Every structure is written in structure tokens, then in C-alpha cells.
């Protein structure tokens, strides 16, 4: 059983398990599909990789080579971009509670744009930009009240959401009346992100209608950022839209909405994260013990919620195979459980699989987004290595953590009087 001509058992033997692995060809194909199809003859387009889905130097280097733009949400993600010499003119800085240090860091690197979440942030960005003698473009994150019909933890534009400002709110009105010749912030447009793992093109159409309606208030052509969240296939229940088709539909719909309202924009942005890395990633585990209780059978694996919190956090579903037994009859209904001290530490519940023994490897598919990036050291688990595979070759992009790494920041400091 192999991915990009690399045998999964051989990978597990060489690098150990749990192991995150990414098919580089699959990521490159996705990126190409976005860059080739998200184009318009009427305005500039930019595809931003939402680096929160999976960020490390190897990944951001790939994004850089491909000529994509980047969405970062923290000083840490920005630092990774800086480390690989990412063109800061292609970096957009998001987040609902950026610290002054993070904003200063972004300003000092001359990022393209700060996506401002609230009025207090606008004041802080302007103050810091003045202090540093910088001018900075800002987009405003708007909460446009579109239900993306996804899990409530990844629905981000319902009116109760913590993100952004409502278009008719006092906060947004205050932001809009703030700009003058004396401000160091420059109004460049508006942003929304309706949620993640979204399959309904109609949700995006509704969002585009609302955003174009809002942007029609200004005569100057602005930037419109319609976010990311494009759904991927975790199980057969998920029916993602082909990326090329999705891009064309979005562009056509934006053209239509602009025509209807007689509005012009300068630039259109999208921010896919999951759909670039999700399906390209898999996790290989080794089965330890197996257990039968009257109501269930378990295959215990050597990772769990520490390398994939999504099932415990929002009941995310996955598919898997027993490596080398993928063509055997799937006769056993089993639950793949991790090794953490939490009853919710279940990677997949009640999945049909062939008989597996201790030492067999299990590959869980579509773990490339929000797996490594949400991993933790709970129970002092070490974070698995990350390996990229391509055309029969493999390379480590993140080393497995060691026990020593787990105590590297622990210190036995002297007490000091405060
Ligand atoms: C503002 C913003 N843009 C883009 C994304 C990426 O979403 P996805 O990885 O589902 O494409 C997110 C995800 O949380 C987000 O909050």
C-alpha cells in the first residue's frame, strides 16, 4: 500500500509512528487548480493559503515556490513566513485579538494588509503604525450572518460569532468614519469567512451578494475577500466541489453580483486552508492492544487526540484502512481509540475493518488540515514527525519530538520578589 509510490509500511519502519505524511503532488495539484482557475479579466485575484491549517517551514516554502499569497493569524505563523523569506507583500494578517507585539511585528515586516476585527484594533494598528512611521492597508472582517451549515465550532459568520463586526453596527460605522489624511491606516476593503468544511455553493453566493451590497457604498474600487472554508472529503458522506469548478463558479457569481449592483472592485481574494492540505495528508499509526467489551471492539493506536483533536472537538469523521489489508473483507466493526486518558479520545467510531493484530499499521486519511496544527503534548505525548512524499521519495519536514523536547523549556528558577 503506497502513497505517491512510497510504501506506507516502509515509511512507518523508517520514521516510526504515529507519522503525519503529506503527498506533495496532491498539494501542488490543488494549488495549481486554485491559481489556474481563480482568475478574472476584470480585477486582480489572489489565492491566500490559510496557514493555520498546517504551517511549518517546509509547507510555507512550498506555498512560496508556487507563488501563492498567505494568510497568517499570529506572530508565530508570521515568523514561519519570515523564516522562509516569504514575500511580505503577499501576507495578510488576520485574528480577532492581535497583541500590540504581533501588530508591531507585522508592521515592521511590511506585511501587505492587516485584517481588522474590531474598532479597538483599528485604533491600536493606527497608533502603532504612526509610531513606526508606516502606512498600512486594512480590510475589515465583517460578520454577515450567513449560516454555512457546518459544525457550530467552525461556523464563523452567525450573528453570535466572536469574529468581525456586523455591517450595520456602531463599531463598523465608527471604523468607517475614522479615516482621514492624518491616519496611517488605509481603508482597502472588506473580508468575510462564513465557516469551514462548507459544501454549499449557495452559502458563498449569499455571502457574495451581501458583501457586494456592502461594498457598493464606496465609489473607489476596493478589495473583496470572501474567505476560505471549502469542504473536503473525509468520508463518503462528503461531496466536495471540484476546485476548478468551484473557482469558476465563484468568479462568475462575483461578476454577476458586481454587474447587478453596478459596482467595481479592485481585487478579489479567497483563503483556502483545509482544501489545500486536508486530503493530501494522512496519519499512520501502529496498533497496540485490541480489546472487546460487550458493546464494542477497540483497536488501540499509538497516537490519538494529541495528534488529531478534531473528532473529540467537533465529532469529525474519518476513513481508514489497515495497511496491507485494504483488500481484505471488512468484517469487524471496530473503534479506533487513542492512548490518552480521556474517554473521548476516539479517532474513528464503529468503522468496518479487517481483522488487525498488534503491530499492524492503520492509515487514517484526510488528516492534513488542523491535525498537526492543533496537536498537543497532553499526557506528555511527543508530537509525531511530518514527512512529505513525492514520486517514490520521502523527506522529513518536521522531526518527531523527543522526551527531552518535552522538558526543554522547564526551568528551576530562583523565586524573585514582585
Ligand atoms: C479567516 C479565515 N480564513 C480562512 C480560513 C481557512 O478555512 P479552511 O481551512 O476551512 O479553508 C479560516 C479558518 O478558520 C479563517 O478563519
Per-residue model confidence as pLDDT tens digits over 28-63: 999 999 999 999 999 999 999 999 999 999 999 999
Distance CA(410)–CA(341), nearest Å, equals: 23
What pLDDT is attached to residue 150?
59
126-153 pLDDT, tens digit each: 999 999 999 999 999 999 988 766 555 5
Residue 175 is among the residues annotated as catalytic for this protein: no
Enumerate residues 6+ apart whose C-beta is below 8 A from 353: 299, 320, 321, 322, 330, 332, 334, 362
Mean pLDDT confidence for 86-113: 98
Instruction: Kindly compute the dihedral angle of the four CA atoms of residues 63, 67, 69, 73, in this order, to the nearest 10 degrees.
Output: 20
Ligand 1 binding pocket mutation candidate from 227, 230, 231, 369 (most atoms within 8 A of CB): 227
- Domains (ranges, CATH) in the chain? 24-273 (3.20.20.10), 281-367+384-405 (2.40.37.10)
pLDDT for 29: 98
Nearest CA to ligand 1 atom 5: 228
C-alpha dihedral sign at 294, 297, 303, 304: negative
Provide the whole-model pTM.
0.96
> Please, what is the average pLDDT of the chain?
96
pLDDT of residue 275 exceeding 80: yes
Residues whose CB is less than 8 angstroms from the CB of residue 161 and which lie 6 or more positions away in sequence, other chains included: 143, 155
- pLDDT reported for residue 146: 86
Residue 409 has pLDDT above 90, yes or no: yes
**Cα 279–144–191 angle (5° rounding)?**
65
What is the model's pLDDT at position 158? 60
CA–centroid distance, 270 to ligand 1, in Å, is 10
Q: What is the structure's pLDDT at 147?
A: 72
Give percent above pLDDT 70 in the chain.
97
Please tell me which residue in 56, 175, 320, 341 is annotated as part of the active site: 341
pLDDT, average across residues 107-136:
98
pLDDT at 156: 59
Cα-flanking dihedrals φ and ψ of residue 143, to 5°?
-100, 105
pLDDT value of position 149? 63
Q: Residue 83 pLDDT more than 70?
A: yes
- Please enumerate in sequence order all residues whose Cβ is within 8 A of that of 177, keeping only pairs 6 or more positions apart, or say none: none
pLDDT of residue 160: 76
Q: Decide whether any atom of ligand 1 lies within 6 Å of the 70 Cβ.
A: no
Ligand 1 midpoint to CA 95 (Å): 11
271 lines ligand 1 (CB under 6 A): yes
pLDDT above 90 covers a percentage of the chain that reads 96
- pLDDT at position 55 is 98
Give me the pLDDT at residue 161, please.
84
State whether the beta carbon of 94 lies less than 6 angstroms from ligand 1.
yes
Q: What is the mean pLDDT of residues 376-380?
A: 98
Centroid of ligand 1 to alpha carbon of 367 (angstroms)? 16
- Kindly report the backbone phi and psi dihedral angles of residue 42, in degrees, each rounded to the nearest multiple of 5, phi listed first: -110, -25
Grid cell locating 351: 468503522
- The whole-number average pLDDT for the span 405-417 is 96
Which of 94, 143, 146, 271 to mutate to test ligand 1, by most ligand atoms within 8 A of the CB atom?
A: 271
CA 47 vs CA 130, 197, 304, 377: distances in Å: 30, 18, 33, 33
The arithmetic mean of pLDDT across residues 356-378, rounded, is: 98
| Digit-coded pLDDT (tens) for 151-186 | 555 555 566 789 999 999 999 999 999 999 999 999
Q: How far is the CA of 131 from the centre of ligand 1 (A)?
A: 31
pLDDT score of 187 more than 80: yes
Amino acid at each position: 500500500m503506497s502513497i505517491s509510490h512510497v510504501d506506507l509500511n516502509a515509511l512507518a519502519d523508517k520514521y516510526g509512528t504515529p507519522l503525519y505524511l503529506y503527498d506533495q503532488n496532491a498539494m501542488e495539484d490543488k494549488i495549481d487548480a486554485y491559481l489556474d482557475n481563480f482568475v478574472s479579466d476584470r480585477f486582480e485575484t489572489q489565492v491566500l493559503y490559510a496557514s493555520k491549517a498546517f504551517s511549518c517551514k517546509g509547507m510555507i516554502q512550498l506555498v512560496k515556490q508556487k507563488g501563492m499569497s498567505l494568510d497568517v493569524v499570529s506572530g508565530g505563523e508570521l515568523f514561519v513566513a519570515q523564516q522562509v523569506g516569504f514575500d511580505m507583500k503577499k501576507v495578510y494578517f488576520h485574528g480577532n485579538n492581535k497583541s500590540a507585539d504581533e501588530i508591531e511585528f507585522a508592521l515592521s515586516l511590511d506585511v501587505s494588509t492587516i485584517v481588522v476585527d474590531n474598532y479597538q484594533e483599528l485604533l491600536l494598528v493606527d497608533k502603532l503604525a504612526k509610531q513606526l512611521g508606516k502606512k498600512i492597508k486594512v480590510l475589515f472582517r465583517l460578520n454577515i450572518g450567513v449560516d454555512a451549515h457546518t459544525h457550530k465550532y467552525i461556523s464563523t459568520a452567525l450573528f453570535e460569532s466572536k469574529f468581525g463586526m456586523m455591517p450595520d453596527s456602531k463599531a463598523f460605522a465608527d471604523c468607517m468614519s475614522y479615516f482621514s489624511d492624518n491616519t496611517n491606516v488605509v481603508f482597502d476593503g472588506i473580508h468575510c469567512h462564513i465557516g469551514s468544511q462548507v459544501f454549499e455553493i449557495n452559502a458563498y453566493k449569499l455571502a457574495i451578494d451581501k458583501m457586494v451590497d456592502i461594498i457598493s457604498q464606496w465609489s473607489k474600487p476596493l478589495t473583496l475577500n470572501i474567505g476560505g472554508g471549502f469542504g473536503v472529503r473525509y468520508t463518503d458522506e462528503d461531496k466536495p466541489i471540484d476546485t476548478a469548478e468551484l473557482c469558476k463558479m465563484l468568479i462568475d457569481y462575483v461578476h454577476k453580483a458586481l454587474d447587478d449592483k453596478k459596482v467595481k472592485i479592485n481585487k478579489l481574494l479567497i483563503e483556502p486552508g483545509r482544501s489545500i492540505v486536508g486530503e493530501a495528508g494522512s496519519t499512520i499509526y501502529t496498533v497496540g492492544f485490541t480489546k472487546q467489551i460487550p458493546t464494542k471492539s477497540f483497536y488501540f493506536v499509538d497516537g490519538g487526540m494529541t495528534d488529531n483533536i478534531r473528532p473529540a472537538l467537533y465529532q469529525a469523521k474519518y476513513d481508514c484502512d489497515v495497511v496491507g489489508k485494504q483488500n481484505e473483507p471488512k468484517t469487524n466493526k471496530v473503534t479506533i481509540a487513542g492512548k490518552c486518558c480521556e474517554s473521548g479520545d476516539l479517532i474513528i467510531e464503529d468503522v468496518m475493518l479487517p481483522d488487525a493484530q498488534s503491530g499492524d499499521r492503520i492509515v487514517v486519511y484526510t488528516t492534513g488540515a488542523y491535525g498537526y496544527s492543533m496537536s498537543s503534548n497532553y499526557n506528555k505525548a511527543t508530537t509525531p514527525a511530518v514527512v512529505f512524499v513525492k514520486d517514490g521519495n520521502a523527506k522529513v519536514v518536521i522531526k518527531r519530538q523527543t522526551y527531552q523536547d518535552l522538558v526543554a523549556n522547564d526551568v528551576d528558577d530562583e523565586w524573585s520578589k514582585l
